[in-house]
Structures are given as structure tokens and as C-alpha cells.
Amino acid sequence: MEKLKAYLERLIDGLEDSDEVYDRLQNLISVYPFNEYEYMISTLLGREKLTLDDYYALRDEYIERNLYLYIFEISAPRGFGEKWAQGHLKALVPEVEKPSKKKDTSYSGQYDLWLDRRIKIEVKASRAVDFDLEAPLYVKALASDSSRPFDMNFQQIKPACCDVFIWVGVWRDKIRYWVLASKEVENNRYYSRGQHRGNVGEGQLHLCHDNIDEFKQFEVQGRDLLNALQRAYDRQHE
């Protein structure tokens, strides 16, 4: 959003009455879908500072930079972590299935997905947002090349309940995946045990701008998730 705004403001600065346009922006009342961006773009089109082709190119570039911004608008935690994230992974790896008591008599909701009727998978998802900004998620959403600080807190981690973890990190323009054996999470120096008092065997792990590079060995592309799950399972049982 900041790149779009900076670009439009540079064009407005070239107008003879730029001060008047900015004054109007300061007092603009926004009602969806009429907002400051609609006003800036329509003004620039009307003054022929922005051609229709320029607008189409601007629109395409913005969509490419914000391809996953809609995911930040999912407000309910279960809607994001369970419905979206698990559905997204199911689309990437059709071989995984949702477990049930019928398929696994020991199943009681302790893991999220199942592969080959033997690999128990726990899914944790989080979104990269500006750590220092107080605003709605879709406003705080960061691009993958941003230098702003972020903190993805993967909570309620229970290593004893699964063989493999999939972590899903969402930026406004990119989705990243990490696949770890359960013991690799449990033994990681960033894993904090005892997230909630009395919850034995449960913890959390913060993936942030300071430590994300330390997990490069576990990061995989979406097309490689199936093989990565099988390799992590093998590591778990070495």
C-alpha cells in the first residue's frame, strides 16, 4: 500500500494545484468503495497525469504485490489457522487427509492431517504483520522484502502429538513453508515449554525477523511439500 501511495503522491506533486488536491484529501470522507486512493487515481486520470494504460499497469503491479492480502482479512483464528491453512495445504498436497476416529481409533483431535495412514501432521500458520503498528491486520500486512520487524507466534505446539510440523507463513505477496520433524521443534532453542500453566507438553515458538534465517534448512517450496513430509518423518524416527 505504501508503494502505491508514494507513486500516486509523486504524480500529484506534479500538478499545478497539488496543494488544493492534498487539502481535499485531508478532509475527504471515505465510504466504501470511495476512498483516498479512488480520489487520487480519478483526479490523476482527469488531469491526464495518469493514462488508462498507466492505470492498468498500476493495477496489475499492485495485485502482484498484494496477491495474498485477502488472507489478512480473515479475522477468526480458526478460520485462518484451520479452515484456510489446512485447506490450502490440502490443495497443494492432495495425498494428505483429515483424520477421524474411524480412520485412527486413537485419534482425539491431537493432530491436523494424516499422510499414508501413518504420518501425523500438525499445521501451524501465522501472518507477517508490522510488529510496531497498531492497526487492522490488512493494514499491518508486510511484503516479503520489508525490513519492518514482525513476530509469528506458533502457539499450542505439542511435539508428542505428531510426527511432523508444517509451518505456514503468509506475507502480502508470498507464502512460505517450513517442514520439521517433531523432535526438531521440541529441541529447537527457540521452543518455549509451558505456554499455559498446567498444560504439560505444550509450548510455543516465535519466528521473527531476528531468527527466521536460522530455519532455512527446513524451508521448502509448495511443490516439494509431499517429499519434505516424508523426509521429516524419516528423520523423526531415525
The pLDDT averaged over each successive group of 10 residues in the chain (238 residues) is 87 92 90 88 94 95 92 88 93 95 90 95 96 88 93 93 97 97 96 67 92 97 97 96
Q: Can you state the angle between helices 52-65 and 36-46, rounded to 10 degrees?
A: 150
Peptide bond into 33 cis (omega under 30): yes
Looking at 3.40.630, 3.40.1350, 2.60.40, 3.30.310, the CATH number of the domain 71-236 comes to 3.40.1350
Reading the block at residue 94, the C-alpha cell is 492432495
What's the confidence (pLDDT) of residue 85?
Answer: 95
Reading the block at residue 96, the C-alpha cell is 494428505
Helix (H) or strand (E) holding 39: helix 36-46
What's the confidence (pLDDT) of residue 73?
Answer: 92
> Minimal CA–CA distance to 41: which of 23, 32, 54?
54
Domain ranges in the chain? Answer: 2-65, 71-236
What's the confidence (pLDDT) of residue 34?
Answer: 86
> Minimal CA–CA distance to 71: which of 91, 60, 55, 87?
87
Could you tell me if 188 and 230 are in contact, meaning their C-beta atoms sit under 8 angstroms apart?
no
What's the confidence (pLDDT) of residue 196?
Answer: 52
What's the confidence (pLDDT) of residue 226?
Answer: 98
pTM of the model: 0.84
